Every structure is written in C-alpha cells, then in structure tokens.
Chains A and B, each alone.
Chain A
C-alpha cells in the first residue's frame, strides 16, 4: 500500500506557495512579542494603548517604536493562542479591547525567556571576546 506523509505535503504547500506570507527578516518581531507577553504577565489584563505605554515606560523611551506596531503583534499572539482579547470599558468609561494571557501564553513566556537569555548570553560572549574590549 502507498503510505502518504500528509504533514510533509502540508508543509511543502505552505512553503512553496508562501501561503502565510510572513517575512523572515523581521528580527525584532520576537522581541516585541516577548515584551508584550511579559507586560501582560506582570500587569494582568490591559488594553492596547496601556500595553504600548507600559513598554515605552519600561524601556525608558530608549525604544523608538510607533505605538501602532503593537497591533499586528497582538493579533499574531492571539492567532498562536497565547493571549486572548475581549471588549470592556476603561476607568474613564471608554470602550476598549482588553488583552490577557492564556495558559499556553504563560507557558510560552518561560520558553521564550529561556530562548532570549540564551541569545543574550551568546551575544554577550561574542561582544566580550571582542579584541577591542579585551585589550583594554
């Protein structure tokens, strides 16, 4: 009998035809995702504006980021099932969409954090090995 690797076919189609249309060059994307997740972890349920403000504040405005960038990131995290959203009202009685972590999102933070620390450590080693630094 002919056995068929459906999963393989699926990946083949996805990759050949570029179904997702995601660009791989977006290096900062993962960083922003982790920032959003961390923010939600420490602050609980927040709307988009509050998340953007919080990231600006924590980064002490060193990160020059358009606040709008947050929305594609929020959508992406929602599509992965890491955060969920619902409409509510703010303290000033305004309608806004509030985001919060899901259980999967919570687990993901650990994985992402670990991943990020590994990259950071690697980078640090590279930077530490710089002859310009060591000669000092």
Chain B
C-alpha cells in the first residue's frame, strides 16, 4: 500500500519536525553554496555568483513551505490547532464545561457499569468448546410449565433413544464430608454421566476423565477441582491415584480439573465431580438410578453438528410423550420435555432484568445527550460573532463544523474518561448488591471490552449531541451577524430545542414510572407476612453421613437438640430438612382415600420433615391440633401436619384433623410409604421471598423418616444470633469431631439474599430514574432561561407599554407548562405501553398502577414548574429601560 507507507513516513516526521527543519536548511544552504561555487568558476564575482544562485533557486521560503506541506500530515496539524482552540474555548467557559463533563461522566459511567455486568452475564460465551451447540433438556408438564427435573430411568431412555445429541449428560448437586484429613471438611460436588468432559470439550489438567464403565454400581472415582487440589494436596502431582474418604466411603482421585474449569457455570465453588454410580447405592432397596418416580436430575446435551435446537426439541418431546404413555404412574406429571439453549436456560428470568436495566441506562444517556445538545445550541448563539469572524477570514463551512465537532469530542472524551473511573468504583458496589442472584455477574469487571464499549459510547454521544449544534452554527448568516454586532436568532432551531425537552420529559416519565413500579413491588415483598418471625433466628447445617449414623440418626438429633436448647442465649431450637428462604424444595404426591384417582394423577404438595418445636422456634402458629413430640417415633403411629393452604385446597369446609393420607415418601420400611394421620394444622410459611402465593405443604416428623438426611438447624436466640455461632460449633464438634458445620447464617440474611434481585432492580432503576429526572429538570431550566434571555427586549417592551409583571411571569410559566404537558402526555402513553414489560418482575401491583402514575406525573410536573419558575421570575423582574437599551 503506497499511501499507507507514505502516511507512516509522514506521521513519523511529525515527531521529529524540528530536526528535519534544520536538516532541510542545511541542504538548501549547501545547494546555494554549490551553485555559487560553480558560478565563480565560470568567472562571476563572489557576490554576483551568490545572487545568481539564489535567483536560480527561486523562493527559499516558498520551497521550505511546500516541503513542509509534503512532509507533514496537515490533518494532524489542523487537529492540533483544533484541539488547542477547543481547550481555550472550554477553559473560557468553565461552568459550561463542568456541567457538560459532569452530565457525560454520569451518563457514560452508568452505561459502562451496566454494560460490564450485562457483558459478563449475557454476552460472554459459556467457557466450553463450541458453546452454541450446548443445550439444557428440561422435563415439564402442562400443569407445571416452568419446568421440572428428570428421573434416572427417563434420562437413560432419552439418552438411548435420541439421535440429536452427540452427548447427553445428567448432573445434580451432591454434598458430603471429607474425612481422614486434619479437620473434617464439607465438600460440594456434582454427580454426572461419564461423558461430562467430552461433552464440554474440556480436559483434566492432570490425570484422566471418566470412562463409560465408571457409571456402573460400585465404581468410586472422582475428579477434583484445582482449588481442592491446592488446599488438600498442596498441588502435589502425586494426588492422582490417591484415595479420599467421602462420608466414610473410599474414592480414588483420577484427575485434577484446570483452574478455569467450572461446571455448572453457576456453581464456581464445586470441589469434585463423580459419576452417577454415586446414586446406585447397593444397600438401598430401590436406588435412585432405577426409580422412575424420583425426579431430581438436570440434563445437558451437545447437539450433533447440523442439528438445530428445534429438531432436538421435537425429538425429545416425542420421546417424553411416548414414555408418559408407557409409564403413566410415574410420568403423567412429566409428560413433556423441551430443549433450550444452555445460555438461555442459565439466564432464565434474569434476561428480562438485564434488558430492562440496560434499556433504562440507555435512556439516561439519551436524555443526557439531549441536555448537552441544548447547552451547545445555547453556546452557539453566544459564539455567533466568533464563528462569523472565522468564516469572514476564510474558514470554510466544513472547517467550522470540524472545529465545533472537535470541541464536542474533547468534552466527550473527558466525560468518558471520568465515566470509566466512575464505573471502576461503581461495578464492585453494584456487584455487592446483586450477590449471587444473577448468574455469572461476579465475573464482571472493567476490562478492555468494557473500555472499548465506553469509548464507542463516548464517540457516538459526541456525534449525537455535537452534530446538530455544529451544523446550525455553520449556517450562521455572516453579514447579518457582523452588521448587527449582536447575536441573532439561530434560525429555525428553537423548535428543535423544544422537541428535545419534550422528549426528555417523556423519557423521564417512562423511567420514573418503571422505577416506581419496582419500588412498590419491592415494598410489597419486604413487608409481606412471611408466616414466621425471621428476627433473632440463626440457621446452620451439618451432615450425618450414613456410614456413621444410618441407625443412630434419630438418637443423635434428639441429644443434639436437647443440648442445644440448654445453651445460654437459646430461646428455642428445632430443625427442618427444608428451610424457608433457602431455594430448596421437595414436592411429593399423596394418596387421599376419600378421593381415589389413578396413581399418575395424584395431587402433590411441598414435603418438609421437621423436628418437634420447629414451629415454636420460627414462631409459626399452630392453628389446630398439636405439634410433633419426641413420642412421634418409628414405633408410634405415623403422623403428619398440614398447613392452612393444604387444608383449604384439599379439605374445604372440613376438619382435616384425624384424616389419613399417604404421602409418597418412604420411611425406610420395606412396605413402602405408610398411611399417616393428620394431627395438626399450622399457619402458611412463605418458603421463598418472591413466591406469589402460599403453597400447600405437608410436614412429617424427622424421627419417622430416619433415612432422610440432613436436618438443618434453626435457633431462636435472646442475644444477637451470630454470637451463638461459636457455642453451637463447639457443641457439634464435641458430639462428633468429624462433622463440619456449614452455612451459618441469620434468617434475616437469607431473606435479604432472596430479595437481592428485586432490590438490585429497584435501586438501579431508581437511580437511573432520579438521574433522568434531574437531567430533565436541568434541561427544562436551560431552555426556559435561554428563551427568556432571547426575549429580553420583547419583554422589556411589553413592560414599558404597561404589561403587568405577573402577566410576564404567567407567560413564561405557560410556555414551560406547554412543554411539560406535551412531554407528560407522551410519557404517560409510553409508560402505559412499557409497563407490561415488567410484569414478571412485579409483586402486589399491576403493570399499570394508576395511583403510581398520578404520583409520578405530579412530581415531574412540580419539579418542572419549579425549574421554570426561576427564569420566569427573572423575566418578570426585567428593567424595561435597561432591556431596551441593550442590544
């Protein structure tokens, strides 16, 4: 590329301009001297010779000038001029510059922050080979469209019958205790099909992956995480082949995964992976791998090359349909299945949240650009004389547009740089608010991609807010401006300023209405009656592995709770296998002798095994009947408690106490699940802070479910709950040093974590709406102040002719009201249209809340009129004699 080579050479000479100038001077001097020398040889006198040489050369200065033009890059030299000029201009108007830079820094900072999170959550591909071919396969049914897990036999049938997948892999979370090390450690793992790694396209860092035969009963092999390898084996390469004890069973380490490896992506702290042989317990009568009724697996697949999601979806759907016909007892409630792209499945509801936040922050930037464009237009008016002078001196229109655009870009770059600095600070704060509620958000940070985005936004906004004022200014009517000696109307551009203001008001209304809906919804959630008292509650967890506690578990828990209740500071203590606000749930079907139906169509409800005193501890009232007691053991009659929602749904208008049901949960006896008598009814407990309605629930005594592990502890304290952590840990260690205590948290923390996503949405949208309103009000003020300044003479004249000052005040306020009213009308329509987008994120309020909209409109109108009042007052206080003399 010839021209590229030339450009490089020219750019290089920019840097060494001075020394090149000196070199040229040397060369030209030597030319003249050589010529003079030759002339002397031809017989001229030295002074004549020199004169002739100079004459033959032509203009030395001219040559030097042309040489320089050829050497340098005029673009950069002009750019340098423009930049210096822009710097001077901006320094001379510090208030203007500061305002614009501040607005931009906020706008770009907010956008960069949000983009960094959206990028980490939604845009980055999954960290596996060809992630676009990875999909999640979900079981669901018409009655439960949000999706369910799959059972092993169903999964095996899917795997054997499909033709769409290269690999289809089941996985589910497991947790257990690592013993045989200095201190027992709690581990989290995943039990998966053998071909997890081939499916993901990942290799172990050390050792090997699973082979197909390792799915068979009795196989005990694990892959460990890099972090686990470092902490337990000190990074020793000899770790491969070693044996570790998990819940008392010996497992062989066959490989170490790379540090960057994560599976599932949402569980970065997974310590190990093992095969599904984990679920093929030889001591279990009916192990999970052969139990078609136990739905607890997730399934992920890699599509064969060329197979689309739709094709795979179609195939798996028909396989699930056939299975439902073949096994109606177990599969009626799991009659459908679907294939969803993995990233989409992982994002779930958060996709809407991300898009809403991204849209909101984009609107803020649009409003900010509108403001700056208006400010620039005002400045153009002040600079008309300067611009006219420049064009009088020969500056072309393009040259002037370029000068003004350079100023915009300079402003924008300064604002953008500050915005990035702001984002650096804001990202960690926002991440703190998100917590774990948004998958992958924790990976967000300001990196090169994000900075690239910020740069793009910066330049784009400079063009957006800079182009119209620059074009307007370049149309300045030179003769009129210079003749009149003062600013004239910027022809025909006033309507533009008004349109910008109306649009700002409208966007401000839309944003504020959205934020208001989320705030109302958050208040509803936070104030909602949870059905228990989360104050002064400590929760914790530990496991009682079968290896040590298969037969003694009930006795152990009885002793434990007795000693726990005796600790000073403890008011009450109980346990439950599923805690509220913990994201856990177990649902199970039950048989009702009064309403016999096919086994496949039995109703189902939440199932929660609890200890005696659990309800007293969390302060959920007994509505009827009695609580469980220590007497409700395996030898006693089998009993259960139901909640009010259950009673209302399944025993409407009847007394449920004394009725018998058969929940399909085994208690370890060979005869299968027993019949249980209802002995009590309790109040409804909100299991998740964001659940929309109370669900029917069945409670069983843990002592009548001795094979179920593990009871989570709840302690009501009279002291600050976390101060009880140490005594409780000491108690557990004293009972068994091999039991590590985990997940020590207060119930208030759990509630707060559950609310973190709605809180994040509310706070972010709230701040954006606030920012938008502020910018809108400032923008309106600017427009009104400008319009008053422009009409000074006219207003002065009116006053001189006897107009009342209040009439002037009314006139200005009326102008402002027109703009406001137009903006509010458009904004209201926008809010009514946009509201339903938020529907899935709203609780306790419809997407078109009239009271809320009225409040938003009232506050925007008030703020707007207030902003217009200051210029209106100024207009009313114009001194007619002075106004008529000026300009």
- Hey, which bits of chain A sit against chain B, CB under 8 A? 10, 14, 17-21, 47-50, 52-53, 66-69, 71-72, 75-76, 78-81, 90, 92, 94-97
Q: Is the interface of B mostly helix, strand, loop or mixed?
A: helix
Contact partner, B27, options A17, A19, A92, A97, Cβ 8 Å: A97
Minimum distance in angstroms from B648 CB to a CB of chain A: 56
Q: Which 4 residue pairs of A and B lie closest in terms of their CB atoms, listed nearest first? A: A66-B58, A68-B63, A21-B74, A19-B75
CA distance A14 to B129 in the complex (A): 41
| B858 proximity list for chain A (CB < 8 A) | none
Chain B positions within 8 Å of A68 at CB level: 28, 57-60, 62-63
Does A49 contact B35, Cβ atoms closer than 8 Å?
A: yes
Q: Taking the nearest CB of chain B, how far is it from the CB of A22, in angstroms? A: 8
* Shortest distance from the beta carbon of A83 to any chain B beta carbon, whole Å: 13
Which B residues lie within 8 Å of A71 (CB)?
24, 27-28, 63, 66-67
Contacts of A19 in B (CB 8 A): 7, 73-76
The answer, among B2, B24, B59, B73, for a CB contact under 8 Å with A80, is B2
CB-CB contacts below 8 Å: B28-48 with A: 28, 30-31, 33-35, 37-38
Which of B31, B58, B59 contacts A49 (CB under 8 A)?
B31
A-B contact pairs, 19 of them (CB 8 A): A19-B74, A21-B69, A47-B31, A48-B31, A50-B34, A67-B35, A67-B57, A68-B28, A68-B60, A69-B58, A71-B67, A72-B67, A72-B69, A79-B9, A92-B34, A92-B37, A95-B30, A96-B30, A97-B23
- B57 partner residues in chain A, CB cutoff 8 A: 66-68
B30 adjacent to A67 (CB under 8 Å): no
Nearest residue in A to B58 (C-beta to C-beta)? A66
Establish whether residues B60 and A20, one from each chain, have CB atoms under 8 Å apart when the complex forms.
no
Q: How far is the CB of A135 from chain B (nearest CB, A)?
A: 42
Given A47-B31, A68-B57, A76-B70: 13 more A-B contacts, CB < 8 Å = A18-B74, A19-B7, A19-B74, A20-B6, A21-B75, A52-B31, A67-B35, A67-B56, A71-B67, A72-B70, A80-B5, A94-B30, A96-B30
**Which residues of chain B (658-717) have a CB below 8 Å from chain A?**
none
Chain B residues with CB under 8 A of A97: 23, 26-27, 30
Give the residues in chain B near A72, CB-CB below 8 Å: 63, 66-67, 69-70
Interface status of B92 (Cβ within 8 A of chain A)? no
Tell me if B71 counts as interface (CB < 8 A to partner A). yes
Q: Look across to chain A and name the residue whose beta carbon is closest to the beta carbon of B2.
A: A80
B886 at the interface (CB under 8 A from A): no
In the complex, what distance in Å separates the CA atom of A94 from the CA atom of B7? 33
Selected contact of A66 from candidates B3, B33, B59, CB within 8 Å: B59
Complex CA gap A90/B35 in Å reads: 12
The yes or no answer to B745 lying at the interface (CB within 8 A) is no
What's the Cα separation between A76 and B6 when bound, in Å? 8
Give the complex CA separation of A78 and B57 in angstroms.
21
Do A80 and B30 contact each other (CB < 8 Å), given the known contacts A21-B75, A71-B24?
no
Residues of B within 8 A of A47 (CB): 30-31, 34
- The answer for the CA separation of A92 and B27 in the assembled complex, in Å, is 16
Asked whether B390 is an interface residue with its Cβ less than 8 Å from the other chain, the reply is no
Q: Evaluate contact between A69 and B63: CB separation under 8 angstroms.
A: yes
Query: Given A21-B75, A47-B30, A72-B67, A94 and B37 touching (CB < 8 A)?
Result: yes
A79, B37: Cβ atoms closer than 8 Å: no
B262 near A: Cβ within 8 Å? no
Chain B residues within 8 Å of A53, by CB: 38
State the CA gap A9–B880 with chains docked (Å): 57
Interface residues of B in 4-29 (CB under 8 A from A): 4-7, 9-10, 23-24, 26-28
- CB-defined contacts of A21 to chain B, threshold 8 Å: 69, 73-75
Which residue of chain B has its CB nearest to the CB of A82?
B2
